[in-house]
C-alpha cells in the first residue's frame, strides 16, 4: 500500500503553512519548526534534544601562548630554528592569530634574511593565505646593522591534532652570518561566539 500521497497531504495541510518551514519531531509527534529570520543560523541546542536559531557571533579571544628564544642564535645556513612554541591540541576550523618579532644583527656583508613562522611538528594541519602553510617575510639588511622584523597573520586549522610552531631564519650572501638576539612569538586562540 502506497502511503506517500496521504502522508504528504497531511504534512502539507496540517503542519506547513509558510515557505521555508521544517518538520521535526517534538518528542511526541511531528511538529512544525517555523522558518527563521534573515541572517540566522540553525543549530542543535545545548541539551542536544532540539533545534534552535541563533545569530552568528564574532571572533573572541580565548587563550594565549607565547615563547621567546633563550639567547643569541647564529644563522649561517637555511631555516635555522630561532624558537619553538607548542600549542598542544588544535581543532578543525579553529583560528589562531600570530604576532612574531625578531631582532637581527647582520654580519660583515649586506644581504637578505628570510624569516618564517610555520608548523614544526604534530598531526594538525594549518592553512595561511589560501593553500600556504606558513607566514614568511624577506628583508635586505645592511652589513653590521641591527634590524627588527615583524610578522603577523591568522591561520586556520584544516585537520585537528597536535601542533608545534617555530620561527626560522635563513641568511643569504657571501658572508651570510646573522645573529638573532631577540625573538618572540605570540599566538592568540580565537573562537566564534554563538
- Average pLDDT across each block of 10 residues of the chain; the chain has 194 residues. List them in order: 58 69 81 83 83 77 86 83 92 89 84 88 90 86 86 91 92 71 87 64
CA 65 to chain centroid: 14
**Counted domains in the chain:** 2
Burial of 81 (0-12, 13-18, 19+ CB in 10 A): middle
Q: What three-state secondary structure class fits 140? A: strand
If asked whether residues 76 and 143 sit together in one domain, one would say: yes
If asked whether residues 49 and 65 sit together in one domain, one would say: no
Q: What is the DSSP letter of 181?
A: E
If asked whether residues 180 and 95 sit together in one domain, one would say: yes
Single out the residue of 126, 103, 132 nearest to residue 115, CA to CA: 103
pLDDT digits (tens, 9 = 90+) for 84-127: 999 999 988 888 999 998 888 888 888 888 888 999 999 999 99
Dig out the grid coordinates for 122 from the structure: 604534530
CATH number at residue 133: 2.60.120.1340
What is the number of alpha carbons within 13 Å of residue 34 lying toward its C-beta? 5
Q: What is the DSSP letter of 109?
A: S
What is the number of alpha carbons within 13 Å of residue 155 lying toward its C-beta? 26
Maximum Cα interatomic distance, the chain, rounded to a whole number of Å:
91
Domain of residue 112, residue span? 59-192
Amino acid at each position: 500500500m502506497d502511503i506517500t500521497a496521504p502522508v504528504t497531504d497531511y504534512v502539507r495541510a496540517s503542519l506547513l503553512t509558510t515557505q521555508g518551514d521544517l518538520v521535526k519531531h517534538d518528542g511526541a509527534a511531528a511538529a512544525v519548526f517555523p522558518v527563521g529570520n534573515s541572517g540566522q543560523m540553525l543549530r542543535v541546542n545545548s541539551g542536544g534534544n532540539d533545534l534552535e536559531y541563533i545569530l552568528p557571533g564574532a571572533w573572541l579571544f580565548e587563550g594565549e601562548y607565547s615563547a621567546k628564544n633563550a639567547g643569541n642564535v647564529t644563522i649561517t645556513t637555511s631555516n635555522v630554528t630561532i624558537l619553538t612554541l607548542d600549542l598542544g591540541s588544535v581543532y578543525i576550523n579553529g583560528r589562531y592569530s600570530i604576532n612574531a618579532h625578531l631582532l637581527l644583527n647582520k654580519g660583515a656583508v649586506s644581504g637578505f634574511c628570510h624569516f618564517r613562522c610555520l608548523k614544526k611538528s604534530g598531526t594538525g594541519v594549518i592553512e595561511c593565505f589560501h593553500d600556504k602553510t606558513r607566514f614568511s617575510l624577506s628583508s635586505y639588511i645592511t652589513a653590521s646593522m641591527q634590524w627588527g622584523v615583524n610578522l603577523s597573520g591568522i591561520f586556520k586549522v584544516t585537520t585537528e591534532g597536535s601542533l608545534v610552531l617555530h620561527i626560522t631564519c635563513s641568511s643569504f650572501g657571501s658572508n651570510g652570518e646573522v645573529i638573532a638576539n631577540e625573538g618572540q612569538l605570540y599566538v592568540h586562540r580565537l573562537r566564534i561566539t554563538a
